[in-house]
Chain A
Amino acid sequence: MATKASRSAARLMLAPAVILLLGWMLVPLTMTLIFSFQRYLPMRGGFLDWVGFENYVRFVTSSAFWPAVQATLIIVGGVLLITVILGILLAVLLDQPMWGQGIVRILVIAPFFVMPTVSGLVWKNMFMDPNNGLLSHLWRFFGADPIIWLSDASMASIILIVSWQWLPFATLILLTAIQSLDSEQIEAAEMDGASALSRFWHIVLPHLARAITIVILIQTIFLLAIFAEIFVTTQGSFGTRTLTYLIYQRVLESQNVGLGSAGGIYAVILANIFALFLMRIVGKNLDR
């Protein structure tokens, strides 16, 4: 149907986006790759030496590496667990008949629109502050000693803050998926005498499988990269230094660009593993 002229016009229309993204991807990534094989210290004049894979080895053998991997896994895993489980429950709940459904939905998704620095600081100061935070008021009300959240329970605090931000995302997507469920199927199961729990287990949950996978993959990619929430709260101390934060510190704080770049390449590889799975699912969707 498309003529030759319209084909070349289409290619012309596509070109700016492709060229921009290609440049955006290739130029900095190539630079990072080159830096990662160098001893590159901006404070001492920049490029000093080619060092082969030394930075890669040093990055993974440094004492900060495994704790950072651990922190990353705990934060990503913890947030995923909380948001997916609560997200499913909330989505099922919000799908039930009730009064004021639209308003409840607005209340539930609101945290997603709060900028990360605001949620980090509001939680840190107004809720988790050991002297004046609302949570410490609550603890004292029950006669308990307030928890010093961001130092004594630092991981739990970060997980709580980030989960609060991402629960709306999981809920909204799972709710959209539930609403596309054929209600006749549910009604038929109901008539056959299936209990609410078995209806959930045998019909709703399998129907949600794909949406859950998508939520997990997209959230993983974003959660691996969380930055501002840690930047404004613990600054990576008290065991909350994730891989992203470690690389950031290597590059901009201690200005060891070679070492940080090797870490950056590890981060790119890690993100791409999850991205591959996500793109498979999304790609299948394109064919339909």
Chain B
Amino acid sequence: MARSVTTQRKTLNTVIAWGIGLLIFFPILWTILTSFKTEAQAIADPPVWFFFDWTLENYRVVQERSNYSRFLWNSVIIAGGSTLLGMMVAIPAAWSMAFVPSTQTKNILLWMLSTKMLPAVGVLYPIYLIFIQLGLLDSRIGLTLVLMLINLPIMVWMLYTYFKEIPGEILEAARMDGAGLRQEILYVLTPMAIPGIASTMLLNIILAWNEAFWTLNLTAARAAPLTAFIASYSSPEGLFYAKLSAASTMAIAPILIIGWFSQKQLVRGLTFGAVK
């Protein structure tokens, strides 16, 4: 008796949750489907759902007409580069604060967080001016640096919360066994820190890939990543739904996949460890 009630409720939960889940996911699903249609099918009324002539034509056209892969490459370089560069600075910082805390550690952490809260538009012109002076406007290196700096606080924080969870006793035990500092770092700490480092990198790649203030304002033709490329579809190209969809699908697919893998770590990174 009791069991049948729970099965009933479970079925109801399942139906409602899947319904809502599909509704929320629908715009993405529709974009992916549309990317395989012809332009005529893409605007058909009534809409065509699954039974149409699936074609890869749009992907080919987008690549040929606008050299899509160059923007993709820019995105990869900027997101990947800012992440690697950021980690080189963030790992030592988080490490030192987690393992050799001082009375100032908390203040430094909070101050770093406060720099993340700085509204970008408030410093848009100065950065623009500095970029012109240094010849960094519309360059990948300039954008890589900016994205590294805006995400550095998140990287430090996330790494800090992970490092903090590595128990100090393990270090002491290693020291008792006669491990030197180098061995301690290489054989004891590094293996325990790798999951945290990996999740931090994934989150940072997501954030950098999707960043759409600096990438839109500091790039033009040369260094534009996918965010800026898609923005160029604003009009009238945006009315070619199938091409817009193909370009969009390629732009979001890698991040959707990375994002799904790192959804649990996301919470920690985005709430600065306040929710785990």
Contact = CB atoms under 8 A, between A and B. Distances in A.
Contacts of B24: 107-108, 110-111, 164, 167-168
A261 B119 CA distance: 12
- Chain A interface size, under 10 / 10 to 19 / 20 to 34 / 35 or more: 35 or more
Contacts of A231: 216, 231
A108 B21 contact: yes
Main secondary structure of the interface of A (DSSP, over half): helix
B224 to A, nearest CB: 11
B13 A93 contact: yes
A194 B126 CA distance: 59
A28 B127 contact: yes
B120 to A, nearest CB: 6
Contacts, number: 303
A25 B118 contact: yes
Interface in A253-275: 257, 260-261, 264-265, 267-268, 270-272, 274-275
Interface string B131-160: 000000000000000000100110010000
A100 B18 contact: yes
Given A176-B275, A244-B121, A108 B25 contact: yes
Contact of B275 (A2, A93, A97, A173): A173
Nearest to B157: A282
Interface residues of B, number: 96
A116 B214 CA distance: 13
B175 to A, nearest CB: 10
Interface string B92-126: 11011101101000101110111101111111111
Which of A94, A126, A272, A281 gathers the greatest number of chain B CB atoms within 10 Å?
A126
Contact of B118 (A29, A97, A180): A29
A32 to B, nearest CB: 6
Contacts of B90: 17
Contacts of A73: none
10 contacts: A6-B100, A10-B100, A13-B95, A16-B92, A173-B275, A176-B267, A225-B119, A251-B124, A265-B122, A271-B118
Closest 9 CB pairs of A and B: A264-B122, A228-B212, A10-B96, A13-B92, A17-B93, A28-B123, A10-B100, A107-B21, A31-B126
